[in-house]
Structure 1
């Protein structure tokens, strides 16, 4: 068994039972990791610089907070199997523009598109208790025992989490065609097929998958952004729902949807850059070399 799987299992049996003290320890652990790993410090700071308008001191503060939020995300995961998710929305979520979620009470297909901020997964899990189950796509992880354990944790509260491969995408299409709810992320091009667009003044590829799904199935898109207030308390911002246009020019339709999403994502990241829990060297990994 891999070290990652063993570590998550140990966290499940400790922090998963009594999470409060571990949430309070997260800033201390993040500070320690930050100071012991200069490579992470440099990489995270580079990622935050465009979000902080080139202010290096601010970028370093945001990068350290992002690292803390990654740790808290894993804490969230190991607590999921023991949570009463029917009460999570009431006790843990502050929702802005809640009325836009009325679509979840309809019978039509809905695509929830979010980003790696706060913990969108937990927010979507909570929303399933409004009467709609959901399928969500996540990145394939290695080693495989850790990946399978992560999928079990993510799916333990009612939703179904699948890897973003052919089978996973097919399951999402089928769910939407049945009038279901699907959750995806729109800020990292993990399949390397993305649309080249301008993001914080840089040219990067962002995923086309969410918008192809919406266009192909006629699903209504609801952009949702999560922001961690403290511990396991979150703000959830529900943006205006829209439908991806279906004209004779599919590429134009998808690009228009990506650009609409980028405007929303930039606004949320400018407000609080440290919420973006992305550990990779984003601008290098997703650069598209145009412009």
Structure 2
């Protein structure tokens, strides 16, 4: 391990063991402002736990490239500003992770937040039909899934075992595990790895429950090319396969912050799949997600993935 990597891991230990949890205990407005300031410092330093895990900084440069791909008509200063804001919103999302373990505070947030189309989703759940809900790493996506669970949906989240990669600093891995377990206590469901727990998700859909997955990570095993952000990308089709196997509907969602302690989950209403065509099934979902990614690209915390898959 080189000197820079050692220094980075020491910084991560302090940041994720002390700093971020401290911000989560502050009053909401103060904690969020401090988290956004933390993100601005991260942008200036190109500091991100993923960069430190692989041994070189890349998030800032790839995010800058992605901003130019999303809005090619914009100039250099716009792309620099939006890149910095991406770090700020990523830091905000990590701060939100510290709220999930504070049940009383989350109850107040839930009361002040809304899920569009909630009555229809609850009615589908009562009918015993599953819904595969496709989201993306935009703004307050984890908060959105938690709020759907708190408002009565039985929500299960497909995660990946990649977070347990030993190259990731131990305090970062521990931070995310605490986040996931705290989310589960509010979800009415389970967050589990697709590599090991797919039978659980199929069973949940067959019981008429909701399974959420992130659809903005292009699928290396997919052979389906879908128009997305001005190009055609090989996108994952797991949502279609799951819905087809279980007779479930498909839908999409984003979760955006509307104010301090106030969020809105916007949904594309559930619909039947085309059993013969994953592309026809998924194109409307990706159009919905694309509208939101173009509307607020700085809140897409996984924007750095776009240049690698274009």
Q: TM-score, normalised by structure 2?
A: 0.78
Which whole-Å CA distance do the structure 2 matches of 1:19 and 1:187 have between them?
32
Q: Counterpart of 2:88?
A: 68
Partner residue of 2:190 out of 154, 160, 184: 160
Equivalent residues, number: 277
CA RMSD after TM alignment: 2.6
1:14 aligns with 2:42: no
> CA offset at residue 12 of structure 1?
6.4
What per-residue deviation string (whole Å, max 9, x for no partner) do you get for residues 212-258 of structure 1?
Answer: 111211112221111223444323212122121223xxxxx212122
Which whole-Å CA distance do the structure 2 matches of 1:65 and 1:58 have between them?
11
Q: Counterpart of 1:264?
A: 288
Q: Counterpart of 2:111?
A: 90
Q: Counterpart of 2:67?
A: 48
Shift of the 25–275 alpha-carbon distance from structure 1 to 2, 3 Å rule, reads same
On the 8 A contact 1:100/1:239 being kept in 2, the answer is no
1:134 aligns with 2:158: no
Structure 2 stretches lacking a partner, 5+ long? 1-8, 47-56
> CA offset at residue 154 of structure 1?
3.3
Q: Counterpart of 1:193?
A: 221
On the 8 A contact 1:24/1:231 being kept in 2, the answer is no
Which whole-Å CA distance do the structure 2 matches of 1:14 and 1:52 have between them?
36
What per-residue deviation string (whole Å, max 9, x for no partner) do you get for residues 174-197 of structure 1?
Answer: 1111222211111113x5223322
Q: TM-score, normalised by structure 1?
A: 0.83
Shift of the 26–13 alpha-carbon distance from structure 1 to 2, 3 Å rule, reads closer
On the 8 A contact 1:19/1:75 being kept in 2, the answer is no
Q: Counterpart of 2:53?
A: none
Q: Counterpart of 1:169?
A: 198
1:235 aligns with 2:258: no
SS of residue paired to 2:147? helix
Shift of the 98–157 alpha-carbon distance from structure 1 to 2, 3 Å rule, reads closer
> CA offset at residue 87 of structure 1?
4.3
What per-residue deviation string (whole Å, max 9, x for no partner) do you get for residues 65-106 of structure 1?
Answer: 221111111111111011334443322x24444554343444
Structure 1 stretches lacking a partner, 5+ long? 248-252
Point out 4+ residue stretches in structure 1 off by more than 6 angstroms: none
What per-residue deviation string (whole Å, max 9, x for no partner) do you get for residues 6-48 of structure 1?
Answer: 7434356422322522211123222222222285432211112
